[in-house]
Structure 1
């Protein structure tokens, strides 16, 4: 078998800086969260799509980093080999170490920094990607003549020196691994000095890149995430430096969400996104809120490595918000809303799912080798576990209090909610409902692991159509969080009560027809409902 003409190397062998550690925990840059995945997903896709040839792809990680089992499997499926490197190595030393381990001396070496994504990757060798301008951080300016590189010069963040030269933006392609090893080794592992040394032996060209996403610092991380999110969902979400505009042809829904933000009492406002504008645009309605440079709890729960201190603050802030909502009464009985939110809706949704898919909702099920009732029978049992009280008043409700709709600002240790429901009945927009529904939505992220399913981070096995086995990666921080959550009481309601767990379980059943475009996800929801139901057996 002939040697490849080049290899790819994603350099993620050092942990992110302290600002990002405070936000996401101790992670290598390629493992930072981005949407429902990690940064490496986008990096690998970017490297693969730009080349007709398939070349071996490697990624350095710090030796002390415990790579989650799911990520190891996912990277293996994507054809990426992990290369642990000593934690204290400089970038240049880690590159030399990797080339030595790979034995990539007589081949090209394509290097993409672990904090970088580019809109396009230059396909030639002996090329450095350049961008018109840098940021207020250390960067390397490219001195060139008609794109032939003369040298690279490093500028510190505090430098007052102006340069009209483009900056190196994280992608470097070298035609010979042995020459690169020699060049870096001769300058004691300093990467930029090593490139200048390499230039003495082999000429290199600069290729200018229009779109550079830098995730290496807290400021550039959130800016790049904003740009990537806008590009992916431009038709429904338009994000600028200061605002988020949400648009939809469902004008009732958009107006309901906007009016929720307008109507919340002063005590709630610090915990909610700030509404800036609302209106109609052609056949669609929209509203705009202030863009917040903060991650959502889904990203933190699934992908971060933040510790218990941070999670305690998050749980406290979530509880504060829900307590304020529960202490804000409406003028109608709670039961009016409860029956609409948690009454016959589950069975109706289930019948719709059966009609659309042919799944027999009256067929007995098996979970992890144990016989279970049918989905229809489970739904009916769960319905009986929800209590009704004609004397109870309705209260303020977010209506979709799940982790993806909760942002967390680590600077003030406070959550900020987005995407509220804003209605319960189809003919009336309002902020009221049943606080138990919000608590159950909260639980369906913490205990229900909804966000892990959306991210595809689960292992589902089926033996036939009605026999399920569902597993998630074990995680000490998740186990601790679930334990701490189970001890909480909000508005006098235990979050681990049988009633809340029943509502949480029914949520996974009722959402089945809403995910008709993802049959794999529907199967995971069924298995997850069985997992949660199994903890209720004996309490029904």
Structure 2
């Protein structure tokens, strides 16, 4: 029996009336909790054992093509088909089927919907979901056995509820389906429902209820999907209230959660608008639980990885962040040099001891005299230690003390494109000791490790890496945006009184010290190690040449 052919349709443009998201031109590239819609769809297919697909997209959707070429085309056999115009769904299907085997079954998936139900069910079927409004959906009318007898495409129909098509179609006779599509195009038809009606007159197609359906095609359902798919990191309990837009947190890392809450509470009142408001807090079996406002804004990480924002837009975003840091700098405190050395040096070496205890191979890699990274020879970490100690002791006298977020990476910054509203989430709440103050260069290094160090690409697994002896080959699937934004970021650093070399030095230490925190992702560790070694070598070499 022939394999099931998978055709994914991503040819439509965003309808900005239904989905007012100005940072993308494709539904499939809209970010949802750290990755674009198309990633959710393709990862779900791979998990279900489908490692081959045909994806149809517009030729002008360059961002989608570049993303898929850099990522999923290396993980599965993914054939990308371009259509020159904004195609109708029938023209997209025609192109996809012409590229496929027309002898067996075909499953068609719309590129703005995720269905986590099984695709391994006998027979011919479409997935449906109960809705109240027939004018917004294509409705399947079924008999008592679940066999579809008619389709009503976005029309006013009597009675409620209705069974709306979810965007998944499993048909066993792809050749006949293709011929009906051709006939539909010749007859001037534009809707898939027209072809499904004809197909249903020859074959039995059933309606199956989808239990796990996430629709990204309009703003209401997109926000609902984001809430449902929200992935917790340190929290073993996250609840988002769908009406009040609040999020309730509880964590097994209780101290971390308490430090976070204290940061929110200690923030000066005039700055509290920069973070979600705390609604309530209480104790549950000795653990802290608190509720705060929930915002559906994208993170800067999502925008950096998956949006179509211009360099000018990123200049404005960086400028806004610098203005916030300036406001934070108006509140100062005293921190002694020993505390700064503890943060920048001692913590790094403590983390490395944890790393070495867990895997002796890391100790061998850190002890190597030289490392060959992407064809360039760098000093091994052990050889850098004397200069790292010297540079750190020299650098601490220039501390910029003020309010500190403590984990100011792109994934912890919510940003609304249209209003330029910023909300800071998940603060560390400590810098040597619990509180809101610290060395602001630490926050700048966190920002730079997102922009220049490509941290968000790494934790999204957008890379390939290999290690052979002392040679590391690493390719991060970034585009031209990070290089341009880094240049602008460093200029704005200097304009705001920061030394970019000091910031890169801290950035390098961050990559080295985070290694044990990612022990469950060895490939990520390898890329982070390479980044840290390169960045530290660059600064140490520059430092030595000036002395």
The normalised TM-score by structure 1 is 0.89
On the 8 A contact 2:380/2:533 being kept in 1, the answer is no
Q: 1:343 aligns with which of 342, 345, 352?
A: 345
Give the conservation status (yes or no) of the 8 Å contact 2:33–2:231. no
Q: Name stretches of at least 5 consecutive residues in structure 1 with no aligned partner.
A: none
Give unmatched runs, 5+ long, in structure 2.
none
3-state SS of paired residue (2:258): helix
* Superposed displacement of residue 362, structure 1: 3.2
Partner of 1:479: 483
Name the Cα RMSD after superposition: 2.8
Query: Are residues 139 and 236 of structure 1, via their aligned partners in 2, closer, same or farther at CA, if it must alter by over 3 Å?
Result: same
Q: Is 1:440 matched with 2:438? A: no
CA contact (8 A) 1:470 1:524 kept: yes
Match of 2:13 in 1: 15
Residue 427 of structure 2, aligned match among 407, 414, 420: 420
Question: Greater share of helix residues, 1 or 2?
Answer: 2
Partners of 2:80 and 2:132 lie apart in 1 by 30
Q: Mark the CA change 1:135 to 1:272 in structure 2 (over 3 Å): closer, same or farther.
A: farther
What SS does the aligned partner of 2:94 have?
A: helix
Counterpart position of 2:171: 174
* Residue 279 (structure 1) aligned with residue 285 (structure 2): no
CA-CA distance at 1:117 after TM superposition: 0.9
What SS is found at the alignment partner of 2:99?
helix
1:507 aligns with 2:519: no
Per-residue CA shift, 1:470-504, capped at 9, x if unaligned? 23235222222122212113783336x21111111
- Structure 1 residues 514-525: aligned runs within 5 Å: 514-525=517-528
Matches within 5 A, 1:458-477: 458-464=463-469, 466-477=470-481
Equivalent-residue separation in structure 1 for 2:177 and 2:454 (angstroms)? 46
TM score, norm. by length of structure 2: 0.88
Q: Which moved more, 1:71-80 or 1:292-301?
A: 71-80
Higher deviation after alignment, 57-66 or 249-258: 57-66
Task: Say if 2:34 and 2:302, in contact at 8 Å, map to a contact too.
Answer: yes
- Give deviations 1:194-250, integer Å, cap 9, x for gaps: 222322332321111122100122332232022012599872433332122222222
Kept in 2, the 8 Å contact 1:47–1:121? The answer is: no
For 2:300, the equivalent position in structure 1 comes to: 297
Deviations 1:256-275 (A, max 9, x none): 10111111113322221222
Q: Deviations over 1:480-531 (max 9, x none)?
A: 2122212113783336x21111111111111122222222222111111122
With 235-244 and 252-261 compared, the bigger mean Cα shift is at 235-244
Q: Which residue of 2 aligns with 1:63?
A: 59
Aligned mates of 2:494, 2:132 — CA distance in 1: 48
C-alpha separation in 1, matches of 2:47 and 2:377 = 46
CA distances 1:22-71 after superposition (whole Å, capped 9, x unpaired): 444223x33433445443343234345557xx685222122223322664
Distance (whole Å) between structure 2 residues aligned to residue 275 and residue 437 of structure 1? 26
**Residue aligning to 2:86:** 88
Of residues 279-288 and 479-488 in structure 1, the stretch that sits farther from structure 2 once superposed is 279-288
* 1:111 lines up with 2:108 in the alignment: yes
Provide closer, same or farther for how the CA distance between residues 131 and 233 of structure 1 changes in structure 2, counting only shifts above 3 A. farther
The residue number in structure 2 matching 1:3 is 2
Cα distance, 1:393–1:13 mapped onto 2, change above 3 Å: closer
* 8 Å CA contact retained: 2:20, 2:219: no
Offset from partner CA, 1:152-184 (integer Å, 9 cap, x none): 11227xx69764221111111222223323333
Cα gap change, 1:276 to 1:416, in 2 (>3 Å): same
Q: Per the alignment, do residues 70 and 138 of structure 1 end up closer, same or farther by CA in structure 2, a change over 3 Å counting? A: closer
Give, in angstroms, the shift of residue 339 of structure 1. Answer: 2.7
